[in-house]
Structure 1
Amino acid sequence: MLNVEDIDLTEWAFWERPFAERNEGFRLLREHGSPRHFRELPAGFGDPGPGYRALVTYADVVEASRRPQDFCSGQGAISIPDMPTEVNEYFGSMISMDDPRHAKIRRIVSRAFSPRMIQRFEDQVETVAELIVDDLRAGKGTGDFVLDVSCRLPLKIICDMMGIPESAYQDVLDSSNVILAGNDPEYLPSNDFEGIMLKLAAAGETLQNLVQDLSRERKGKDGDDLISLLINANIDGESLTPQELGSFFILLAVAGNETTRNAISHGLHLFTQHPEQRALLLSDYEAHAPGAIEEIVRFVSPVIWMRRTATRDTTLNDHEIKAGEKLVLYYGSANRDATVFTDPDEFDIARSPNPHIGFGGPGPHFCLGAHLARREVNVMFRRLFAAFPEIRSGEPDRLFSNFINGIKHLPYTLS
């Protein structure tokens, strides 16, 4: 039995609990007031700095998201501990920036996503999804859904967008797994701060070097891949540096790959656990798919939290916040706030309205790739269920992380 006094989100013991218990813990925190102070961060990982306030209600997370001038992303990183400078060198992408630099990079990147480019990506999603389904038809009828399906689609799309050669796909996948490994011993050494830092830095360096080498080759040349477009872009006299381009690719490879693949993996597991929702979806796929995608993202919340830092003394929904305080925005908790969502612990693809914040709250850091992610999930399930309406998952092997709600491996059978 959980008591609100015993809940400490800095302790890995909390994240070892089953999902139902974690969700119950967040419910208790929501009902006992937010923001709520937690104890000092443990030493040993970066600069722990002061403790933080956990924002667990929908109202608090949304309000903090829409006030970037008061709650910024660029002080110390979006991780809970302040990251060492050498780590931020590789991971200091748009997600850890504030305006005006954030606005500059987002403006350049957004201009590269022309309607023609977006249509090309969307057409490619259909092609890749059909290839994956064809491989399933030719396979043994069982396997690891993450490896066979859900990680292949976003990885292929992202690498094709950037013009990454197929020979580098595995490096991209392996590096993104390490960067978002949390505390999972499959990807990072346990209880070894120096070893963890070295492996994280190596993963970032692999992705940085890959993109910077390709950008040097493509500088000044015509090309329709994103590396060529971005390295040669000049928007109102502004362009990306090779460092900024490398950091953007890390964000794209990590966020675009991990979040989409986890939505697809969780989606199959949810439709296995809830056959009545599968039946509803398949009764009219085109009518129910948009709602199903939003409900998967709400229910799962692939990114569990992001950090902000108060830039000045202020208030947040009548709570006093001091300059320099860390605030951790728990999207997964906000997406189960009963003041916003009726029966929030129920998986309901017909839920309406569904104002979830699984792609981030309102404001400048709302996910740039949300449209493409929705498209990938939609196409993959349409193709998958058309070919294998009886496909089922087994029990997932979950990522041990307090940041990503991930599935590492997911057994499946086609019938």
Structure 2
Amino acid sequence: MGTVAATDTPAVDLADPGFWQLPAPARAAAFAELRRLPGPVFVGERAGERAGGAKGARSAKGYHALVRHADVVEASRTPAVFLSGPGVTTPEPARWVRALFGDSMVNLDDPRHAQLRRIVSRAFTPRLIARVEDDIRLVAARLIDRVARDRPEDFVTSVAAELPFQVICNMMGIPEEPRRAILDQVNHASENTGVARPLRSRIRVPGRGLRALARMQGMVAELGRERRRRPTDDLVSALVTADVDGRRLTGRELGAFFSLLLVAGVETTRNALAHGLHLLTVHPEQRALLLGDPDRHLGGAVDEIVRHATPIIQFRRTLAVDHRLGGPEGPLLRAGEKAVLFFGSANRDESVFTDPDAFDITRTPNPHLGFGGGGPHYCLGAHLARQEMKVLYRELFTRLPQARSVGEPELIPSNFDHRVRALRFTF
């Protein structure tokens, strides 16, 4: 079985920016069509252009679209074959950008990835984790106090973005004074992660807000230098003083990790929280289940929100060697070629999820890939994100049980993340 030629799927063009501006049901139907094909489609990366079945077409610039649950899991859990090092975003980060800002862990392979991950994991002590969980409850309570008092209209800016941002800043030991400036830098660094509106022939991608990223990393590098001189009990101190196999995070590595934690940790959790409020509004029977017995259903609701919304749409890998996907008779992917893992499509795979387009907080099992497909790059913040969502929803629906979205979420068209710009809400 070989890679499917573009001519077999004329209605689905993942390289076309217009595709990512289609309504969500239309995109879901297109991915369902791709999952029915005998192998992964090869997508040419220039808008509107595909690599076809002609001889030599496989050398065209593009990628294999992995849309099935099993294929995404295989690529995630075979890191020696599917490399992250060349870059996981589309397009890959420029070499000079990586040299200037340092490598994010998502763009590293072993042994360097394993080494950095050990340092970070060692810093997350049981004492720090317990303190963070207490802090999530305090921050959530303060936010809902403010909502009840001020009655803001936008759930994203008043709640969904604030919770993960404040929790991460508290965990890292970021002083109060620069936090607003840092949040502005986060927004600037990630604001171009969508489909370009003025120029419809190209796609905006992560990493365009380089000046914002430089300012943000400069702030945390200075904090890291201060913590080396006078360590406290925060995460920055733990990261810059941890000694794992004679290594600790350098200033540039600390800056890269902080940027990853903020952009990934804040953006993904805020989007999941916003999508979740809307899903629980437009599915009143699921909302009634949750509010009727939150102790029983809250964990399932969080996982189903993450599956249904899938905050990160895709990550890219590069083939290290020739590889047959799915076994000896599977399609051949060649060394040097690219593969893109479409997590949202995998999370709607009919062979894994019964009635996959339904929103069902009692779904079990729920082996979603909203935090990645496993392997060494499984999301470091998965536990933190789950805790933030469970605590926030419990606080919100206990204090304001009539809280609900008003109208549709305002989405930013994107081929990278399922980002919500704004969500009007009331109680």
Query: TM-score with structure 1 length normalisation?
Result: 0.93
Matched, 1:377 2:389: yes
Query: Residues 117-174 of structure 1: CA distance to partner in whole angstroms, max 9, x if unpaired?
Result: 000000000000000111111113x510001111110000011111112222223323
Indicate the larger mover: 164-173 or 330-339.
Answer: 164-173
CA distance in structure 1 between the partners assigned to 2:317 and 2:426 by the alignment: 42
One-letter code aligned to 1:171: A
- The residue number in structure 2 matching 1:64 is 75
Structure 1 segment 14-413 matched on structure 2, within 5 A = 14-41=19-46, 50-75=61-86, 77-88=87-98, 89-90=100-101, 92-140=103-151, 142-182=152-192, 184=194, 199-317=208-326, 318-394=330-406, 395-413=408-426
1:216: Cα distance to partner?
1.3
Superposed CA RMSD: 2.2
Relative to structure 1, the CA distance from residue 366 to residue 350 in structure 2 (aligned partners, 3 Å threshold; closer, same or farther) is: same
Unaligned runs of 5+ in 2: 1-7, 49-58
Indicate the larger mover: 177-186 or 100-109.
Answer: 177-186
CA distance in structure 2 between the partners assigned to 1:331 and 1:307 by the alignment: 11
1:191: Cα distance to partner?
7.2
1:66: Cα distance to partner?
0.4
1:11: Cα distance to partner?
1.1
One-letter code aligned to 1:5: P
Query: Residues 40-80 of structure 1: CA distance to partner in whole angstroms, max 9, x if unpaired?
Result: 4359xxxx9821000000010000100000001002x1112
Structure 1 runs of 4+ with >4 Å offset: 182-186, 188-193, 195-199
CA contact (8 A) 1:34 1:54 kept: no
1:90: Cα distance to partner?
2.6
CA distance in structure 2 between the partners assigned to 1:121 and 1:147 by the alignment: 22
CA distance in structure 2 between the partners assigned to 1:32 and 1:165 by the alignment: 53
CA distance in structure 1 between the partners assigned to 2:193 and 2:378 by the alignment: 26
Relative to structure 1, the CA distance from residue 258 to residue 223 in structure 2 (aligned partners, 3 Å threshold; closer, same or farther) is: same
1:32: Cα distance to partner?
1.5
Identity %, equivalent residues: 48
CA contact (8 A) 1:41 1:81 kept: no
Unaligned runs of 5+ in 1: none
Query: Secondary structure of the equivalent of 2:153?
Result: strand
CA contact (8 A) 2:195 2:414 kept: no
CA distance in structure 2 between the partners assigned to 1:220 and 1:32 by the alignment: 59
Query: Residues 323-364 of structure 1: CA distance to partner in whole angstroms, max 9, x if unpaired?
Result: 011100000000000000000000000000000010001100
Query: Residues 103-127 of structure 1: CA distance to partner in whole angstroms, max 9, x if unpaired?
Result: 0000000000011100000000000
Query: Residues 387-410 of structure 1: CA distance to partner in whole angstroms, max 9, x if unpaired?
Result: 111111022110121111011100
CA distance in structure 1 between the partners assigned to 2:229 and 2:386 by the alignment: 34
Alignment length (residue pairs)? 404
Relative to structure 1, the CA distance from residue 11 to residue 191 in structure 2 (aligned partners, 3 Å threshold; closer, same or farther) is: closer
One-letter code aligned to 1:116: R
CA contact (8 A) 1:182 1:401 kept: no
CA contact (8 A) 1:34 1:60 kept: no
CA distance in structure 2 between the partners assigned to 1:212 and 1:189 by the alignment: 35
One-letter code aligned to 1:172: I
CA contact (8 A) 1:181 1:399 kept: no
Indicate the larger mover: 392-401 or 285-294.
Answer: 392-401
CA contact (8 A) 1:15 1:401 kept: yes
